[in-house]
Chains A and B, each alone.
Chain A
C-alpha cells in the first residue's frame, strides 16, 4: 500500500472509531418508521414517498458527514500537533491532503452503500405487503435500478462537497470552513440563476460578478436527479458521464489548490 493509501485508511479508521457510522442507525430508524407510517396514511404513493425520503435523507446525512468531517480533516491534525509527526515521515505534503480526502470518500462510500442496502430492504418489505391493485398502479418497479443512478450521482456530489470542505480546511478554522462550505453548497444549487442574472439585473458590475461566480462555484444542481429517478424519468448514460467528468475536473482543481496551500503552510 502507498503512503497515500495508509493515510486514507487511517482517516477511515478515525471516522469509524469516532462513531460516524452511528448516523446509519438514525437513517435506518427514520426509514423504517416512515415506511410503517406512510403505509397506513397514503394510498398507492407510499413507495414513491419512501424513495423520495430515502434519497433526501441520504443527501442530508451525507452532506453533514462531508462537511463536518471534511472541515476538520486538516485542522485537527494541526490543532493536535499530530501533523508534526506525520510530516516527519517520508511523505510529501500533497499526499496528506489527497490521502485525507480519499479516507473521507471511503467513509462516505461505505455510508452510502449501507444506506442504499437499507433503502432497498425497506422498499422490498413495503412492496411485499402491497395489494395487487397498488402493484399495477405503480409507474416504476419497487426495486427500481434507476435509483442507483441517482445514488451514484449523489455520492459524486458529496465528493465535490468534501473537496470544497477540505480545501477550506487547509487554511481556515472549522467554523469558517463550515460556513464557507455550506455557502458554496447552497450557491452551487443556484448556479443557473447566476448564469442568467443579466436577464434580471442591468448593473454591469453585478453581471460580471455573477458571471465570475458562475464559473468559479461548482454547479451542484445537475447531480440531483432524485425526482427523475423516483418518477421514472430517463437518466441517460451520457448525462451521467458528463456530470461525473465535470465532478472529476472540479475535484482535481480543488485538491491541487488545497495541496498548494497546504505545501506552503507553516506549523508554528
Chain B
C-alpha cells in the first residue's frame, strides 16, 4: 500500500483519499460507497463550510474524522494528530447533528460532566459553564433538566458544550438545525467570534446562505464525491452571469424596444427601470443607445452567481 505523505502542521484538518464503504443487504452483503477518495485541507483559523445535499456524505466525513466510523481507505489528520488521538480531541469541539444529551441531567450538570472529561478543575468548570451558557442564551435555564428543553435549546446547549475546552478546532454538524431566526443569528455571531479568536470552524450545512455569510472557503460534496472546493470569493467572483442596468427618465416605448434583449425588465418607479442583461450582451452598447434616447444611467452592476446557483450547477453535474 502506498503511504500518503501528510503535511501535518499547517492544517487543522487534512484528509487524503478518505473513503468509506458501508455494507448493505441482509444475506448478501455488498459495499455501498458513502465517501469516495475525499482529499481536503482546512487551514487553521478559517471558517470552512462543508456543503452538500442530504445523503452527500457530509455526516459520514465528520464521523470518520471523529472515529465514530473507520475509513475503508485513505488517511486523515486533525490538528496534526492521527484520528482518534486523545491529544487532538483535547483541542477539539464537536456538535453532532440533532444532538441528544443525557436528559436526566441539567445543562449545568452536563457541562460539569464534560468539563470533568476534559480534566478541568472545579472552579474552571464553573467559570466556563456560566460564561458559555450565558453566551448561548441558556443562562436562566441552566438548572432545568434537559428533558424539558426544546430542540432549539438543546442545540444551544450542544454548541456550549462544544466550546467547553476552548478548542482550536470546532466541528459543527448542521449547527443551524432546529434554530429559529434569532437562534441562527446568534450562532452566526458566535461562529464569527470564534474565527476572530483564531479558532478553526468546520461546519456542515445545506443552508447555503449561512455558508455564504460565514465561510472563507467551502467544499461541496455530492454522492460521496468532492465536486468543488476552494475560496468562496474565487468560486463565485469568476462566475459573472450577466449585468444589471438601472436607468431613469426612460420612455416606456424605449424600454419596450430594448426589453427584447434583456432577460428581465422590472419597473421600479416612474421612468425608472431595472434591466438584466445576459452575459453575452455587452452592456456598453445598450448604455449608449439609452443615453442617445435621453435616458439617464443610474447604475451598472455585474451579476455574480450566488452560492446557490453554483451549488445547484455543480451538484447537478456531480449526480
Contacts and interface: CB of A to CB of B under 8 A. Distances in A.
Given A1-B116, A85-B94, A91 B101 contact: no
Nearest to B65: A88
Given A85-B94, A89-B118, A268-B69, A80 B100 contact: yes
Interface in A3-30: 3, 6-7, 10, 13-14, 17-18
A129 interface: no
Interface size class of A (residues with CB under 8 A): 20 to 34
B4 interface: no
Most buried by A among B102, B105, B113: B102
A89 B96 CA distance: 12
Contacts of A266: 68-70
A87 B114 contact: no
A86 B86 CA distance: 12
Given A84-B68, A85-B99, A85-B161, A90 B116 contact: no
Interface residues of B, number: 30
A14 B67 contact: no
Most buried by B among A1, A84, A86: A84
Contacts of A80: 100
A97 to B, nearest CB: 15
A81 interface: yes
Given A85-B161, A88-B89, A266-B69, A3 B117 contact: yes
A11 to B, nearest CB: 10
A203 interface: no
B100 A81 contact: yes
Contacts of B101: 82, 85
Contacts, number: 74
A128 interface: no
B105 A13 contact: yes
Contacts of A89: 89, 114, 117-118
Given A13-B105, A85-B96, A267 B117 contact: no
B296 interface: no
Contact of A267 (B68, B87, B158, B161): B68
Nearest to A15: B104
Given A10-B113, A266-B68, A90 B118 contact: yes
Interface string B118-141: 110000000000000000000000
Given A87-B66, A266-B70, A6 B94 contact: no
Contacts of B117: 3, 6-7, 86, 89-91
A92 interface: yes
B113 to A, nearest CB: 5
Contact of B104 (A18, A81, A85, A92): A18
A92 B117 CA distance: 11
